[in-house]
Copies of this chain bind each other. A is one copy, B any other.
Amino acid sequence: MRRVSFESLKDFCQQAYVKAGVPENEAEIIADLLVRADLRGIETHGVTRLPIYIQRLQKGYVRPVCQMTVLKEKGPAVFLQAHGSMGHIVAYRAMERAVAKAEEYGIGWVSVKDSGHFGVAGLFPMMALKKDYIGYIVSNSAPMMAPWGGRERIVGNNPLAYAFPTDHYPPLVLDFSCSVVSSGKLILCRKKGEKIPLGWAFDKDGLPTEDPYEGYEGGGSLAPIGEHKGYGMVIAHEILTAVLTGGKLTRNIKSLYEEDKSGIQGTCHSFMALDPDCFLGREEFKKNMDLYIKSIKESPKAKGTQEILVPGEPEHRTELRFLKEGIPLSPNTEKELATLCRSLEIALPPIY
């Protein structure tokens, strides 16, 4: 497998975005976020998506130059309109504002409408870590699930993510969507001819299924974590984003892979930054985080378990390893990037 350095892969992505009409400085921010996904081992949301992002820019489905308007601002609360700009840069700018508000008020809350797909949710709350703040993001998404008791795929798996600063441990980063598994996992099982366990998905009649095709591509829906509990979370996340801003509800959002001439994919997000200095104190909080993490990690392990992990730990380890060894590109991704290179007249990043 071809391995490339973080920096060279980032430069490459930046060049691709610039070729597609994105300003240099915005292209750098987006490229950094995109490659950071691969660096942390979340390759489903990394450079494998570069071709579709570039294609959408070329087709005019997304705004190449970020435009964001302040619709309302009251103390620590900000309401932004993103006019169909790229999700990555929108979320980056919105989180910057939440952090700036927390600096002034102890807390900042920013809600955005008319944004788009932003990749890995957890990277945005992680921006708050530079100031030792707590970061939070919630978003709606494209349709993935049915309401509990329903059968039409009209709600999203609406992710949330938190980042918490620490003292010596790696930052604790929690990032997940509200379905038991991703649609990608069902597609993979279908390709391998494997059954799926009951509890992963429902068929198009809204009934539990063991068939991965029926559970997603055949018109079914992903199951929420904790049954009605995850369904409730999805509803709450939709309200905190699309309903609160008057933006597009999940049912009206098209996936990255669908034609969309509206120019506004329309995902909505909310962001929060919270300064621990308003409570225990910034340094004391980080020390307390370490004590808490230690108490969890050093507690007795289940039979057969080697190590207890906390959220964000696996990704942090991957990051350290890939910084040293280079980021591996799967043969398929490499092939797709090579095709993109030819059309944009840029060069693939050198082998690490």
Across the interface, do B149 and A301 meet the contact criterion of CB distance under 8 Å?
yes
How many chain A residues touch B (CB < 8 A): the figure is 81
| CB-defined contacts of A53 to chain B, threshold 8 Å | none
Across the interface, do B105 and A288 meet the contact criterion of CB distance under 8 Å?
no
Cβ of A192 within 8 Å of any chain B Cβ, yes or no, is no
Cβ of A225 within 8 Å of any chain B Cβ, yes or no, is yes
Across the interface, do A180 and B226 meet the contact criterion of CB distance under 8 Å?
yes
Cβ of A256 within 8 Å of any chain B Cβ, yes or no, is no
| CB-defined contacts of A302 to chain B, threshold 8 Å | 146, 149-151, 202, 205-207
Q: Which of A236-253 contact B (CB under 8 A)?
A: 236, 238-240, 242-246, 249, 251
Cβ of A38 within 8 Å of any chain B Cβ, yes or no, is no
Q: Mark A301-318, 1 if CB is under 8 A from B, else 0.
A: 111110111110000000
Q: Mark A280-293, 1 if CB is under 8 A from B, else 0.
A: 10001100110010
Across the interface, do B279 and A244 meet the contact criterion of CB distance under 8 Å?
yes
Partner of A299, one of B105, B147, B228, B295: B147
Q: Which residues of A contact B (CB under 8 A)?
A: 72, 74-79, 104-107, 109, 111, 134, 146-152, 154-155, 162, 164, 172, 174, 176, 178, 180, 199, 202, 205-207, 225-226, 228-233, 235-236, 238-240, 242-246, 249, 251, 274-280, 284-285, 288-289, 292, 295-296, 299-305, 307-311
